[in-house]
Amino acid sequence: MELRRYDILYKNEADFWWFKGRRILLERILKNLPNKSSLKILDTGSCTGYNLHLLNKYGKAYGVDVEKKAIEYCKKRRFKRMHLLKNGMQLPFKSNSFDVITCLDVLEHIEKDEKYLQELNRVLRSKGILIIFVPAIKLLWSQLDVKSHHQTRYTISMLKNKIRKTRFLIKEIKYFNYILFWPMLPFRLIQKLPFFKKNEFGSELIVNNKLINQLLYYIFVFDVWSTKWFSPPIGVSIFFVAEKG
């Protein structure tokens, strides 16, 4: 991700609709875990660290990131258990160290994603839980993906194949942000036109209009809530919960 985007995220991660709604989904998953307290949790790709506030409610959270600037922002939020990854995908922890690992919109940044899933498997304890969010549907590829240094967008079938190859057992996997998929699709297709592509139309992360931000938040909250009972056929993102076998 471009370094200037860490500055933007640090200022907006608490209130921007996407991050607020995503935390609601994360907490719903955490609340459904058999053991909901005293967990040892690893957040991979912690970015500016706001999710660590939530993870610390369920135990002791550790964070890792490849960018020094991200680590600095996490420490600015007073999180001390942070580690800078200096050697690519190798995590600086012993095998079987964590009860839960979160990897939230991180896997799409990694070229050798299956190798990274194997590394997550290594540091997760037996019967430990892996929670991953990723962007979905290659048709939605846009300048936002380019500026965020994404390698791909996924489908559920793609993810299932990768998860099974890396010895995880799938507990739940669904598309989400499905309500905004159809309004977003023409917007993303327009971005592919030469004029808009050249001018990087829609490549910024944040919507600065408070009214629009609040409206999108309410839509997203309903979207996340409804996936408890409904498996959307398509969506802007995918979440999956897996167990180490």
Q: Where are the domains of the chain?
A: 4-244
Confidence of residue 35 (pLDDT cuts 50, 70, 90): confident
Of 158, 121, 115, nearest to 242 by C-alpha is: 121
Strands (E), 50-209: 59-65, 82-84, 98-104, 124-135, 168-176
Of 66, 189, 95, nearest to 137 by C-alpha is: 189
Strands (E), 77-153: 82-84, 98-104, 124-135
Helix axes 4-12, 68-76, angle to 10 degrees: 20
Q: Please report the pLDDT score of residue 206 as a whole number.
A: 61
Q: For residue 151, is pLDDT > 70? A: yes
Q: For residue 65, is pLDDT > 90? A: yes
Please write the tens of the pLDDT for every residue from 67-124: 899 999 999 998 999 999 877 778 999 999 999 999 999 999 999 999 999 999 999 9
Please write the tens of the pLDDT for every residue from 155-177: 999 999 999 899 899 999 999 99
Confidence of residue 192 (pLDDT cuts 50, 70, 90): confident
CATH of 4-244, one of 1.10.3980.10, 3.90.800.10, 3.40.1160.10, 3.40.50.150: 3.40.50.150
Per-chain mean pLDDT for the chain: 90
Taking residues 30-35, report their average pLDDT: 86
Q: For residue 199, is pLDDT > 60? A: no
Tokens of 100: 């839960």
Taking residues 26-46, report their average pLDDT: 90
Taking residues 193-221, report their average pLDDT: 75
